[in-house]
Amino acid sequence: MASFVVGLRRFLGALALMLLAHQAAAAEPLAFVGRSGSKLVVNGSPFLFNGFNAYWLMNVASEDQVNVSKTLSEAAAAGLTVCRTWAFNDGGNPALQSSPGVYNEKMFQGLDFAVSEAKNHGIRLVMSLINNFKDFGGKTQYVQWARDAGEAIKTDDDFYTNAKVKQYYKNHVLKVLTRVNTITKVAYKDDPTIMTWDLMNEPRCPSEPSGQTVTAWVKEMAAYTKSIDSKHLLQVGFEGFYGSSTPDKIGLYNPGGYKYGTDFIIGNQVNEIDYTTIHAYPDAWLPQKSEEERKTFLQQWISSHFNDSVKVIGKPMVFEEFGKSTTTPGYSQKVRDDFLSYVYGMIYSDAETSGGSFSGGLLWQIMGEGMKSYYDGFAIVLPRDSTTTAVIKKQSDAMAALKNRLSGSRH
Ligand SMILES: *[C@@H]1O[C@H](CO)[C@@H](O)[C@H](O)[C@H]1NC(C)=O
Ligand SMILES: *[C@@H]1O[C@H](CO)[C@@H](O)[C@H](O)[C@H]1NC(C)=O
Protein backbone atom coordinates (compact mmCIF):
# COMPACT_ATOMS: atom_id res chain seq x y z
CA MET A 1 0.00 0.00 0.00
CA ALA A 2 2.71 2.42 1.12
CA SER A 3 4.87 1.74 -1.94
CA PHE A 4 1.82 2.20 -4.18
CA VAL A 5 1.24 5.64 -2.62
CA VAL A 6 4.91 6.56 -3.10
CA GLY A 7 4.74 5.37 -6.71
CA LEU A 8 1.58 7.35 -7.32
CA ARG A 9 3.16 10.45 -5.76
CA ARG A 10 6.21 10.07 -8.00
CA PHE A 11 3.98 9.67 -11.05
CA LEU A 12 1.92 12.77 -10.15
CA GLY A 13 5.11 14.71 -9.44
CA ALA A 14 6.51 13.82 -12.85
CA LEU A 15 3.20 14.73 -14.48
CA ALA A 16 3.14 18.13 -12.75
CA LEU A 17 6.70 18.82 -13.93
CA MET A 18 5.76 17.89 -17.51
CA LEU A 19 2.74 20.21 -17.36
CA LEU A 20 4.90 23.04 -15.96
CA ALA A 21 7.51 22.52 -18.66
CA HIS A 22 4.77 22.57 -21.26
CA GLN A 23 3.36 25.82 -19.87
CA ALA A 24 6.80 27.45 -19.83
CA ALA A 25 7.46 26.34 -23.39
CA ALA A 26 4.08 27.69 -24.49
CA ALA A 27 4.80 31.22 -23.21
CA GLU A 28 6.38 33.46 -25.85
CA PRO A 29 10.09 33.91 -24.95
CA LEU A 30 10.50 37.43 -23.65
CA ALA A 31 12.81 39.90 -25.37
CA PHE A 32 13.98 43.24 -23.95
CA VAL A 33 11.56 46.10 -24.49
CA GLY A 34 13.37 49.15 -25.86
CA ARG A 35 12.44 52.61 -27.08
CA SER A 36 12.60 54.18 -30.49
CA GLY A 37 11.60 57.87 -30.46
CA SER A 38 8.09 58.12 -29.07
CA LYS A 39 7.40 54.38 -29.16
CA LEU A 40 8.26 51.40 -27.03
CA VAL A 41 9.52 48.62 -29.27
CA VAL A 42 10.22 44.94 -29.01
CA ASN A 43 12.00 43.04 -31.78
CA GLY A 44 11.73 46.19 -33.91
CA SER A 45 7.93 46.55 -33.67
CA PRO A 46 5.77 48.81 -31.49
CA PHE A 47 5.12 47.30 -28.06
CA LEU A 48 1.58 47.74 -26.75
CA PHE A 49 0.06 46.10 -23.71
CA ASN A 50 -2.68 45.89 -21.15
CA GLY A 51 -1.33 45.50 -17.63
CA PHE A 52 -1.87 45.78 -13.91
CA ASN A 53 -0.37 46.72 -10.59
CA ALA A 54 0.32 44.09 -7.90
CA TYR A 55 2.65 45.83 -5.46
CA TRP A 56 2.50 42.86 -3.06
CA LEU A 57 4.22 40.10 -5.09
CA MET A 58 7.49 40.02 -3.09
CA ASN A 59 5.80 40.19 0.32
CA VAL A 60 3.30 37.45 -0.43
CA ALA A 61 5.84 35.26 -2.26
CA SER A 62 8.12 35.30 0.79
CA GLU A 63 5.39 33.49 2.77
CA ASP A 64 3.03 31.90 0.25
CA GLN A 65 4.27 31.23 -3.29
CA VAL A 66 1.06 29.53 -4.44
CA ASN A 67 -0.95 32.77 -4.22
CA VAL A 68 1.57 34.54 -6.44
CA SER A 69 1.59 31.78 -9.07
CA LYS A 70 -2.19 31.54 -9.04
CA THR A 71 -2.73 35.29 -9.43
CA LEU A 72 -0.15 35.62 -12.22
CA SER A 73 -1.76 32.70 -13.99
CA GLU A 74 -5.21 34.33 -13.72
CA ALA A 75 -3.77 37.62 -14.98
CA ALA A 76 -2.11 35.91 -17.95
CA ALA A 77 -5.44 34.25 -18.79
CA ALA A 78 -7.03 37.73 -18.91
CA GLY A 79 -4.37 38.72 -21.47
CA LEU A 80 -2.47 41.00 -19.06
CA THR A 81 1.20 41.13 -20.07
CA VAL A 82 2.81 43.79 -17.85
CA CYS A 83 2.77 43.99 -14.04
CA ARG A 84 4.11 46.77 -11.83
CA THR A 85 5.40 45.75 -8.41
CA TRP A 86 7.50 46.96 -5.48
CA ALA A 87 11.21 46.08 -5.29
CA PHE A 88 11.43 47.76 -1.89
CA ASN A 89 10.23 47.29 1.66
CA ASP A 90 12.29 49.46 3.96
CA GLY A 91 12.63 49.24 7.72
CA GLY A 92 9.34 47.46 8.45
CA ASN A 93 8.78 43.98 9.71
CA PRO A 94 9.38 41.91 7.70
CA ALA A 95 11.54 44.24 5.59
CA LEU A 96 13.56 43.68 2.44
CA GLN A 97 16.07 46.27 3.70
CA SER A 98 15.89 46.36 7.50
CA SER A 99 18.54 49.06 7.90
CA PRO A 100 20.85 50.74 5.36
CA GLY A 101 22.55 48.01 3.33
CA VAL A 102 21.16 45.15 5.47
CA TYR A 103 18.91 42.83 3.46
CA ASN A 104 16.57 39.98 4.40
CA GLU A 105 17.45 37.05 2.14
CA LYS A 106 14.04 35.39 2.56
CA MET A 107 12.31 38.52 1.26
CA PHE A 108 14.77 38.81 -1.65
CA GLN A 109 14.01 35.20 -2.54
CA GLY A 110 10.32 36.18 -2.60
CA LEU A 111 11.20 38.80 -5.21
CA ASP A 112 13.28 36.20 -7.11
CA PHE A 113 10.22 33.97 -7.18
CA ALA A 114 7.99 36.80 -8.43
CA VAL A 115 10.42 37.50 -11.30
CA SER A 116 10.75 33.82 -12.15
CA GLU A 117 6.97 33.22 -12.11
CA ALA A 118 6.30 36.37 -14.15
CA LYS A 119 8.67 34.95 -16.77
CA ASN A 120 6.86 31.59 -16.72
CA HIS A 121 3.59 33.38 -17.45
CA GLY A 122 4.93 35.69 -20.16
CA ILE A 123 4.39 38.77 -17.97
CA ARG A 124 6.93 41.60 -17.94
CA LEU A 125 7.60 43.57 -14.75
CA VAL A 126 7.91 47.23 -13.91
CA MET A 127 9.87 47.35 -10.64
CA SER A 128 9.66 50.36 -8.38
CA LEU A 129 12.70 51.14 -6.19
CA ILE A 130 11.29 53.26 -3.34
CA ASN A 131 8.08 54.88 -2.16
CA ASN A 132 7.41 58.58 -1.78
CA PHE A 133 4.91 57.66 0.93
CA LYS A 134 5.34 55.96 4.30
CA ASP A 135 3.91 52.61 3.20
CA PHE A 136 6.74 50.05 3.26
CA GLY A 137 9.18 52.64 4.59
CA GLY A 138 9.61 55.14 1.79
CA LYS A 139 11.50 58.40 1.89
CA THR A 140 10.43 58.86 5.53
CA GLN A 141 12.40 55.74 6.51
CA TYR A 142 15.45 56.80 4.46
CA VAL A 143 15.67 60.23 6.11
CA GLN A 144 15.11 58.64 9.53
CA TRP A 145 18.10 56.36 8.92
CA ALA A 146 20.19 59.41 8.08
CA ARG A 147 18.90 61.26 11.15
CA ASP A 148 19.87 58.25 13.28
CA ALA A 149 23.35 58.47 11.72
CA GLY A 150 23.65 62.08 12.90
CA GLU A 151 22.58 63.99 9.78
CA ALA A 152 20.74 67.29 10.24
CA ILE A 153 17.44 66.52 8.53
CA LYS A 154 14.61 69.07 8.48
CA THR A 155 11.84 67.39 6.48
CA ASP A 156 11.18 64.19 4.53
CA ASP A 157 11.92 66.19 1.39
CA ASP A 158 15.61 66.29 2.40
CA PHE A 159 15.48 62.85 0.78
CA TYR A 160 16.10 64.56 -2.57
CA THR A 161 19.12 66.64 -1.49
CA ASN A 162 20.93 65.13 1.52
CA ALA A 163 24.16 63.45 0.35
CA LYS A 164 23.96 60.55 2.80
CA VAL A 165 20.34 59.77 1.92
CA LYS A 166 21.15 59.92 -1.80
CA GLN A 167 23.96 57.44 -1.22
CA TYR A 168 21.55 55.09 0.64
CA TYR A 169 19.25 55.24 -2.37
CA LYS A 170 22.07 54.54 -4.84
CA ASN A 171 23.23 51.60 -2.71
CA HIS A 172 19.72 50.13 -2.90
CA VAL A 173 19.59 50.61 -6.67
CA LEU A 174 22.94 48.82 -7.02
CA LYS A 175 21.83 46.00 -4.71
CA VAL A 176 18.60 45.30 -6.59
CA LEU A 177 19.95 45.68 -10.13
CA THR A 178 22.93 43.41 -9.52
CA ARG A 179 20.94 40.81 -7.58
CA VAL A 180 21.43 37.35 -9.10
CA ASN A 181 18.10 35.53 -9.05
CA THR A 182 18.47 32.36 -6.93
CA ILE A 183 15.90 30.54 -9.10
CA THR A 184 16.72 31.61 -12.68
CA LYS A 185 20.43 32.37 -11.96
CA VAL A 186 20.07 35.52 -14.09
CA ALA A 187 21.09 38.92 -12.66
CA TYR A 188 18.14 41.29 -12.55
CA LYS A 189 20.01 43.77 -14.75
CA ASP A 190 20.30 41.11 -17.47
CA ASP A 191 16.75 39.71 -17.25
CA PRO A 192 14.34 40.70 -20.05
CA THR A 193 11.40 39.68 -17.80
CA ILE A 194 11.97 43.08 -16.22
CA MET A 195 10.69 45.76 -18.59
CA THR A 196 11.38 48.90 -16.58
CA TRP A 197 12.92 50.36 -13.45
CA ASP A 198 10.72 52.91 -11.77
CA LEU A 199 12.86 55.41 -9.77
CA MET A 200 10.19 56.12 -7.16
CA ASN A 201 6.50 55.54 -6.64
CA GLU A 202 4.85 58.97 -6.99
CA PRO A 203 7.61 61.45 -6.09
CA ARG A 204 6.33 64.65 -4.52
CA CYS A 205 8.16 67.53 -2.83
CA PRO A 206 5.72 69.88 -1.12
CA SER A 207 8.51 71.87 0.56
CA GLU A 208 9.90 72.98 -2.82
CA PRO A 209 6.94 73.25 -5.18
CA SER A 210 8.64 74.35 -8.42
CA GLY A 211 9.74 70.85 -9.44
CA GLN A 212 13.43 71.84 -9.80
CA THR A 213 14.56 69.84 -6.75
CA VAL A 214 12.91 66.62 -7.86
CA THR A 215 14.19 67.12 -11.42
CA ALA A 216 17.77 67.47 -10.16
CA TRP A 217 17.30 64.24 -8.19
CA VAL A 218 15.86 62.47 -11.27
CA LYS A 219 18.89 63.60 -13.34
CA GLU A 220 21.37 62.23 -10.83
CA MET A 221 19.56 58.95 -10.14
CA ALA A 222 18.62 58.25 -13.75
CA ALA A 223 22.26 58.64 -14.81
CA TYR A 224 23.36 56.40 -11.94
CA THR A 225 20.78 53.70 -12.72
CA LYS A 226 21.67 53.62 -16.42
CA SER A 227 25.38 53.46 -15.55
CA ILE A 228 24.68 50.08 -13.93
CA ASP A 229 22.05 48.85 -16.35
CA SER A 230 21.60 50.29 -19.83
CA LYS A 231 19.53 47.35 -21.08
CA HIS A 232 16.31 48.20 -19.28
CA LEU A 233 13.84 51.00 -19.71
CA LEU A 234 13.74 53.65 -17.02
CA GLN A 235 10.93 55.91 -15.88
CA VAL A 236 10.36 58.23 -12.94
CA GLY A 237 7.04 57.05 -11.45
CA PHE A 238 5.38 60.47 -11.72
CA GLU A 239 1.67 61.01 -11.24
CA GLY A 240 1.88 63.78 -13.85
CA PHE A 241 1.60 67.05 -11.93
CA TYR A 242 2.74 70.09 -13.87
CA GLY A 243 5.36 72.43 -12.39
CA SER A 244 6.95 75.81 -12.90
CA SER A 245 8.07 75.22 -16.52
CA THR A 246 4.38 75.34 -17.55
CA PRO A 247 2.71 77.74 -15.06
CA ASP A 248 -0.52 77.94 -17.07
CA LYS A 249 -0.98 74.15 -16.88
CA ILE A 250 -0.72 74.09 -13.08
CA GLY A 251 -3.99 75.99 -12.88
CA LEU A 252 -5.60 74.29 -15.87
CA TYR A 253 -4.89 70.65 -15.10
CA ASN A 254 -3.38 69.98 -11.65
CA PRO A 255 -6.09 68.78 -9.25
CA GLY A 256 -7.18 71.76 -7.18
CA GLY A 257 -4.68 73.89 -9.11
CA TYR A 258 -2.01 72.95 -6.55
CA LYS A 259 1.74 72.54 -6.93
CA TYR A 260 3.08 69.16 -5.87
CA GLY A 261 6.81 69.75 -6.31
CA THR A 262 7.20 67.84 -9.56
CA ASP A 263 7.38 69.05 -13.16
CA PHE A 264 5.98 66.58 -15.68
CA ILE A 265 7.77 68.28 -18.60
CA ILE A 266 11.33 68.90 -17.41
CA GLY A 267 11.39 65.79 -15.21
CA ASN A 268 10.56 63.57 -18.17
CA GLN A 269 12.90 65.44 -20.52
CA VAL A 270 15.85 64.01 -18.58
CA ASN A 271 17.83 62.09 -21.18
CA GLU A 272 17.89 58.70 -19.46
CA ILE A 273 14.13 58.62 -18.89
CA ASP A 274 12.50 56.44 -21.56
CA TYR A 275 8.79 57.10 -21.16
CA THR A 276 6.39 59.33 -19.29
CA THR A 277 3.76 58.16 -16.83
CA ILE A 278 0.53 59.46 -15.42
CA HIS A 279 -1.57 58.23 -12.51
CA ALA A 280 -5.13 59.45 -11.82
CA TYR A 281 -7.51 59.15 -8.88
CA PRO A 282 -10.18 61.74 -9.67
CA ASP A 283 -12.51 60.38 -6.95
CA ALA A 284 -9.89 61.12 -4.28
CA TRP A 285 -8.34 64.17 -5.96
CA LEU A 286 -11.62 66.00 -6.62
CA PRO A 287 -13.91 64.92 -3.79
CA GLN A 288 -16.23 67.93 -4.19
CA LYS A 289 -16.82 67.38 -7.92
CA SER A 290 -19.59 65.43 -9.61
CA GLU A 291 -19.03 62.18 -11.50
CA GLU A 292 -19.39 64.06 -14.82
CA GLU A 293 -16.82 66.68 -13.80
CA ARG A 294 -14.40 63.94 -12.78
CA LYS A 295 -14.83 62.24 -16.14
CA THR A 296 -14.06 65.52 -17.89
CA PHE A 297 -11.01 66.01 -15.66
CA LEU A 298 -9.77 62.53 -16.56
CA GLN A 299 -10.28 63.04 -20.27
CA GLN A 300 -8.37 66.36 -20.13
CA TRP A 301 -5.64 64.88 -17.89
CA ILE A 302 -4.95 62.09 -20.37
CA SER A 303 -5.23 64.26 -23.46
CA SER A 304 -3.02 67.07 -22.22
CA HIS A 305 -0.27 64.74 -20.97
CA PHE A 306 -0.34 62.59 -24.05
CA ASN A 307 0.01 65.65 -26.28
CA ASP A 308 2.94 66.89 -24.19
CA SER A 309 4.52 63.47 -24.09
CA VAL A 310 4.60 63.05 -27.84
CA LYS A 311 4.91 66.64 -29.09
CA VAL A 312 6.97 68.37 -26.39
CA ILE A 313 8.92 65.56 -24.71
CA GLY A 314 9.05 63.14 -27.66
CA LYS A 315 8.60 59.97 -25.60
CA PRO A 316 5.90 57.30 -25.26
CA MET A 317 3.40 57.40 -22.40
CA VAL A 318 1.98 54.79 -20.02
CA PHE A 319 -1.13 55.30 -17.86
CA GLU A 320 0.48 53.68 -14.86
CA GLU A 321 -2.23 53.78 -12.15
CA PHE A 322 -5.99 54.14 -12.26
CA GLY A 323 -8.81 52.35 -10.49
CA LYS A 324 -12.17 52.62 -8.79
CA SER A 325 -12.43 52.02 -5.05
CA THR A 326 -15.36 50.29 -3.41
CA THR A 327 -15.32 53.20 -0.93
CA THR A 328 -16.38 55.70 -3.64
CA PRO A 329 -19.94 56.92 -2.91
CA GLY A 330 -22.35 55.13 -5.26
CA TYR A 331 -19.90 52.31 -5.92
CA SER A 332 -21.04 49.13 -7.65
CA GLN A 333 -19.13 46.66 -9.78
CA LYS A 334 -20.97 48.10 -12.79
CA VAL A 335 -19.67 51.58 -11.91
CA ARG A 336 -16.13 50.14 -11.80
CA ASP A 337 -16.59 48.27 -15.08
CA ASP A 338 -17.90 51.42 -16.80
CA PHE A 339 -14.99 53.45 -15.42
CA LEU A 340 -12.43 50.92 -16.70
CA SER A 341 -14.16 50.78 -20.12
CA TYR A 342 -14.04 54.58 -20.30
CA VAL A 343 -10.30 54.68 -19.52
CA TYR A 344 -9.54 51.74 -21.80
CA GLY A 345 -11.40 53.39 -24.67
CA MET A 346 -9.23 56.51 -24.39
CA ILE A 347 -6.00 54.51 -24.17
CA TYR A 348 -6.90 52.43 -27.20
CA SER A 349 -7.98 55.38 -29.28
CA ASP A 350 -4.79 57.37 -28.55
CA ALA A 351 -2.68 54.26 -29.12
CA GLU A 352 -4.33 53.72 -32.48
CA THR A 353 -4.21 57.29 -33.80
CA SER A 354 -0.58 57.72 -32.70
CA GLY A 355 0.57 54.40 -34.15
CA GLY A 356 1.57 53.11 -30.73
CA SER A 357 2.92 56.08 -28.73
CA PHE A 358 0.38 55.42 -25.98
CA SER A 359 1.84 52.09 -24.91
CA GLY A 360 -0.83 50.91 -22.46
CA GLY A 361 -2.35 51.10 -19.02
CA LEU A 362 -1.74 49.41 -15.66
CA LEU A 363 -4.87 49.24 -13.56
CA TRP A 364 -4.66 49.48 -9.77
CA GLN A 365 -4.84 46.58 -8.81
CA ILE A 366 -5.13 42.78 -9.09
CA MET A 367 -5.13 40.50 -6.05
CA GLY A 368 -5.64 36.85 -5.26
CA GLU A 369 -8.54 35.26 -3.47
CA GLY A 370 -8.11 35.11 0.31
CA MET A 371 -5.46 37.88 0.46
CA LYS A 372 -7.72 39.99 2.66
CA SER A 373 -4.91 41.62 4.63
CA TYR A 374 -3.82 43.33 1.38
CA TYR A 375 -7.23 44.50 0.15
CA ASP A 376 -7.37 48.28 -0.21
CA GLY A 377 -10.77 48.98 -1.79
CA PHE A 378 -9.30 48.78 -5.31
CA ALA A 379 -8.67 45.03 -5.28
CA ILE A 380 -9.96 43.12 -8.29
CA VAL A 381 -9.99 39.35 -7.85
CA LEU A 382 -10.24 38.02 -11.41
CA PRO A 383 -12.06 34.69 -10.85
CA ARG A 384 -14.52 36.41 -8.46
CA ASP A 385 -15.22 39.63 -10.42
CA SER A 386 -16.21 38.06 -13.74
CA THR A 387 -17.81 41.12 -15.38
CA THR A 388 -14.67 43.17 -14.62
CA THR A 389 -12.49 40.36 -15.96
CA ALA A 390 -14.47 40.47 -19.21
CA VAL A 391 -13.83 44.23 -19.55
CA ILE A 392 -10.11 43.69 -18.88
CA LYS A 393 -9.86 40.79 -21.33
CA LYS A 394 -11.57 42.80 -24.05
CA GLN A 395 -8.95 45.57 -23.69
CA SER A 396 -6.10 43.02 -23.61
CA ASP A 397 -7.38 41.52 -26.87
CA ALA A 398 -7.84 44.94 -28.49
CA MET A 399 -4.31 46.09 -27.56
CA ALA A 400 -2.83 42.77 -28.73
CA ALA A 401 -4.66 43.03 -32.06
CA LEU A 402 -3.46 46.63 -32.50
CA LYS A 403 0.09 45.57 -31.66
CA ASN A 404 -0.08 42.86 -34.32
CA ARG A 405 -1.59 45.25 -36.85
CA LEU A 406 1.11 47.89 -36.23
CA SER A 407 3.88 45.34 -36.53
CA GLY A 408 2.45 44.13 -39.84
CA SER A 409 2.01 40.64 -38.44
CA ARG A 410 -0.36 38.26 -40.20
CA HIS A 411 -1.53 36.50 -37.01
C1 LIG B 1 -4.38 67.36 -27.74
O2 LIG B 1 -4.19 67.41 -29.14
C3 LIG B 1 -5.37 67.15 -29.88
C4 LIG B 1 -4.98 67.06 -31.35
O5 LIG B 1 -4.13 68.11 -31.73
C6 LIG B 1 -6.39 68.26 -29.60
O7 LIG B 1 -7.57 68.00 -30.30
C8 LIG B 1 -6.67 68.27 -28.09
O9 LIG B 1 -7.54 69.33 -27.76
C10 LIG B 1 -5.39 68.40 -27.28
N11 LIG B 1 -5.72 68.24 -25.88
C12 LIG B 1 -5.49 69.16 -24.96
C13 LIG B 1 -5.97 68.86 -23.57
O14 LIG B 1 -4.94 70.21 -25.19
C1 LIG C 1 -3.11 32.93 0.20
O2 LIG C 1 -4.40 32.42 -0.14
C3 LIG C 1 -5.01 31.69 0.89
C4 LIG C 1 -6.24 30.98 0.35
O5 LIG C 1 -6.89 31.72 -0.66
C6 LIG C 1 -5.27 32.62 2.05
O7 LIG C 1 -5.90 31.93 3.10
C8 LIG C 1 -3.97 33.22 2.54
O9 LIG C 1 -4.20 34.17 3.54
C10 LIG C 1 -3.22 33.89 1.38
N11 LIG C 1 -1.90 34.30 1.81
C12 LIG C 1 -1.50 35.59 1.83
C13 LIG C 1 -0.11 35.83 2.29
O14 LIG C 1 -2.19 36.51 1.48
pLDDT in tens, 38-76: 999 999 999 999 999 999 999 999 999 999 999 999 999
Q: What is the pLDDT of residue 93?
A: 86
Q: What is the pLDDT of residue 119?
A: 98
Query: Is the bond leading into 333 cis (omega within 30 degrees of zero)?
Result: no
Give me the residues paired with residue 280 across strands.
322
Question: For 200, left (φ over 0), alpha (ψ -120 to 50), or beta?
Answer: beta
Ligand nearest to the CA of 304: 1
Q: What is the pLDDT of residue 354?
A: 97
In a domain, residue 32? The reply is no
Going by alpha carbons, the residue nearest to atom 6 of ligand 2 is 370
Q: What is the pLDDT of residue 263?
A: 98
Q: Is 370 in the pocket of ligand 2 (CB under 6 A)?
A: yes
In a domain, residue 23? The reply is no
Pairing of strands 34-36, 82-86: unpaired
How far is the centre of ligand 1, averaged over its atoms, from the C-alpha of 312 (Å)? 13
Q: What is the pLDDT of residue 1?
A: 37
In a domain, residue 18? The reply is no
Q: What is the pLDDT of residue 29?
A: 75
Q: pLDDT (tens digit, 9 = 90+) per residue, 285-325? A: 999 999 999 999 999 999 999 999 999 999 999 999 999 99
Q: What is the pLDDT of residue 28?
A: 61
All residues at 6 or more sequence positions from 122 whose CB lies less than 8 Å from its CB, including other chains: 27, 28, 30, 76, 81
74 included as an active-site residue: no
Structural domain total, the chain: 1
Cα–Cα distance measured from residue 214 to residue 51, given in angstroms and rounded to the nearest whole number: 27
In a domain, residue 6? The reply is no
Q: What is the pLDDT of residue 13?
A: 46
Which among 270, 274, 267 is positioned nearest to 233, based on CA atoms?
Answer: 274
Q: Is 300 in the pocket of ligand 1 (CB under 6 A)?
A: yes
**Strand residues in 339-381 grouped as ranges (E):** 358-364, 366-367, 380-381
Ligand nearest to the CA of 298: 1
CATH of the domain at 388: 3.20.20.80
Annotate 214-258 with DSSP letters as a single string.
Answer: HHHHHHHHHHHHHHH-SSSEEE--------TTSHHHHHHHSGGG-
Going by alpha carbons, the residue nearest to atom 4 of ligand 2 is 370
Query: What is the value of pTM for the model shown?
Result: 0.93
In a domain, residue 90? The reply is yes
User: Residue 261 in contact with residue 209, Cβ under 8 Å?
Assistant: yes
369 included as an active-site residue: no
Ligand 2: nearest atom to the Cα of 374 = 14
Cα–Cα distance measured from residue 206 to residue 229, given in angstroms and rounded to the nearest whole number: 31
Which among 156, 155, 153, 154 is positioned nearest to 140, based on CA atoms?
Answer: 156
In 3-state terms the chain splits into helix, strand, coil percentages (rounded to 5) of 50, 15, 35
Q: What is the pLDDT of residue 408?
A: 81
Q: What is the pLDDT of residue 215?
A: 98
* 234: containing domain: 45-408
Cα–Cα distance measured from residue 146 to residue 43, given in angstroms and rounded to the nearest whole number: 44
In a domain, residue 34? The reply is no
Alpha carbon 86 to its chain centroid, in Å, reads 8
In a domain, residue 30? The reply is no
**Strand residues in 129-173 grouped as ranges (E):** none
**Strand residues in 64-179 grouped as ranges (E):** 82-86, 97-99, 102-103, 124-128
In a domain, residue 112? The reply is yes
User: Which residue positions in the chain have pLDDT lower than 70?
Assistant: 1-28, 409-411
